[in-house]
Amino acid sequence: MPAIQIADLTKRYGDITANDGVTFDVESGEIFGYLGPNGAGKTTTIRLLLGLINPTSGTANVLGADIRDRRALTATKADVGYLPDDLGFEERLTGRQALEYFARMRGDERRDELLELFNPPLDRRIETYSHGNKRMLGIVQAFMHDPDLVIMDEPTAGLDPLKQDRLYAFLEEEAGTGTTVFFSSHVLSEVQRICDRVGIIREGALVALEDIDVLLTQSGKDVWVHLAEPVDEERFVTPAMIDVEIVDRTARFTYTGEYNALLAHLVQFDIENIEIGDPQLDDIFKHYYGDDDPAEDHGDDGPAGER
């Protein structure tokens, strides 16, 4: 059975639709990336899944519990870990006291093991913590009761690169032992790096749901060529090339057609250097969002946004 089943989940605030008929499943043991710019409705979906807000219509199952069934959902939370984007710890407590507090409610059998990987200064008050330390404390509390499902909202925000790598490795290890990881992000490289599948959300609606490999294949190849002579644009560019940028003897484009056709086309030119690789998810992302900048298009803290 899927760890999360979302069926036509809709949340409206007045005229604003924060989630619009979102439907997808997250399978047990997979790392699922929920991708979208700020204000797209990622946090809304997550808060719906946790029962913090009520759906306007549609529903979802979390480890078999219907989110509209409060009692079942509450019981399920013993097996769910949650890392919110905005970590509301009791700031007057020390890190250790905060962990004790959560441990009393749901256990902490893996606390010590986690603290070896993520080590916030436990004996200091949380009000003195940096973003990174708070995030580490958040990761420890999210995993310390050995949950079956972990829901994380922008988990790497504030973490230094070393700790980010440590988190990626840890998540892969956890998924390997059957833990389901659902996380939202607007950082595309991290999703590309560790996710099995991604869902892309835009203005509250799911616009793509793909295996990460399929997404990369469908999105073509990123091609960079350096010719011996200045590029003759008319002769060089074919309809299968998009996002073409030409500067003197260099051309850069995303190729969406047949590979053989590309190679046959390229041999007509005197090529000095070439690179063909997978596109960055950033580029793929642009295709789903069009050319307009989503941040301008849809304000960072707009009401459709992250609440």
Partner 1 sequence: MTAILRNESAKLLRGALLLTGLFALLSAFFLAVFPGFAEEAAIIEEAFPPLLVGLLGFEELHTIEGFVGGYLYSIIWVLLTGIYFAYVSAGLIVEDIRTRRMDLTLSNPVSRESVVLQKVAALWVPLVALNVALFAVLFVGVTVIGETLDPVTLAMVHLLSIPYLLVCAGIGLVLSVTLDRVETAQTAALGFVFLLWLVEGVSTLDPDVEWIGALTPRRYFDPSAILVHEEYALGDAGILLGAFLVLLGIATVVFVRRDI
Query: Which residues contact partner 1 (rule: CB under 8 A)?
Result: 47, 50-54, 70-71, 74-78, 80-82, 84, 86-90, 92, 101-102, 104-106, 141
The distance of closest approach from Cβ of residue 150 to partner 1 in the complex, given in angstroms and rounded to an integer, is 11
Which residue number, 155 or 294, has a Cβ lying nearer to partner 1?
155
Q: Which helix (H) or strand (E) holds 18?
A: strand 16-26
- Is the separation of the CB atoms in 282 and 248 below 8 Å? no
The amino acid sitting at 191 is V
CA atoms in the 13 A half-sphere facing the CB of 66: 7
Which residue number, 53 or 223, has a Cβ lying nearer to partner 1?
53
The distance of closest approach from Cβ of residue 91 to partner 1 in the complex, given in angstroms and rounded to an integer, is 8
Which residue number, 17 or 254, has a Cβ lying nearer to partner 1?
17
Q: Is 83 helix (H, G, I), strand (E, B) or coil?
A: strand
The distance of closest approach from Cβ of residue 211 to partner 1 in the complex, given in angstroms and rounded to an integer, is 29
Report the DSSP pairing between strands 4-13 and 57-62.
Answer: antiparallel
The distance of closest approach from Cβ of residue 32 to partner 1 in the complex, given in angstroms and rounded to an integer, is 18
Which residue number, 148 or 160, has a Cβ lying nearer to partner 1?
148
The distance of closest approach from Cβ of residue 140 to partner 1 in the complex, given in angstroms and rounded to an integer, is 13
Q: Between the CA of residue 93 and those of 85, 122, 215, what are the distances in Å?
A: 20, 10, 44
The amino acid sitting at 210 is E
| Residue carrying structure tokens 């399978």 | 27
Which residue number, 105 or 228, has a Cβ lying nearer to partner 1?
105
